[in-house]
Amino acid sequence: MAVYTENTLETASQPPRLYHSATETHSNAGDVVRDIIIGFADGLTVPFALTAGLSSLGSSKLVIVGGLAELFSGSISMGLGAYLAAVTDRDRYLAEFKREEEEVRVKPEDEKEEIYDIFAKYGVTRDACQGVVDYLVQDEEAWLQFMMDFELKLEKPNVSRAWISAATMGLSYFIGGLLPMIPYFAMHHVVDALFASIGITFVILLVFGFVKNYVTVQTKRSGFYGAVQTLLVGALAAGTSYGIVYGIDHSNLR
Q: How far apart are CA 51 and CA 190, in angstroms?
A: 10
Among 47, 29, 41, 38, smallest CA distance to 82 is for 38
What residue segments make up the domains of the chain, in order of their start? 32-245
DSSP of 16-34, one letter per residue? PPEEEE-S----SHHHHHH
In Å, what is the CA distance from 193 to each residue of 46, 64, 88, 166?
Answer: 17, 11, 42, 32
Amino acid at 140: E
In Å, what is the CA distance from 143 to each residue of 8, 94, 224?
Answer: 20, 16, 46
Burial profile 173-198: b = 16 or more Cβ within 10 angstroms, e = fewer: bbbbbbbbbebbeebeebeebbebbb
**76, 170 in Cβ contact below 8 A?**
yes
**211, 222 in Cβ contact below 8 A?**
no
pLDDT of residue 252: 58
Better-scored residue on pLDDT, 230 or 187: 187
The arithmetic mean of pLDDT across residues 195-222, rounded, is 80
Tens of pLDDT, residue by residue over 10-62, are 444 444 554 444 444 444 457 788 888 888 888 888 888 888 888 877 788 88
**222, 213 in Cβ contact below 8 A?**
yes
Task: Describe the crossing of helices 60-106 and 190-217 by its angle, rounded to 10 degrees.
Answer: 30
Tens of pLDDT, residue by residue over 52-91, are 888 877 788 888 888 899 899 989 998 898 888 888 888 8
What pTM was computed for the model?
0.68
The arithmetic mean of pLDDT across residues 81-108, rounded, is 88
Tens of pLDDT, residue by residue over 171-181, are 999 998 898 88
**204, 97 in Cβ contact below 8 A?**
no
Q: How far apart are CA 12 and CA 34, in angstroms?
A: 46
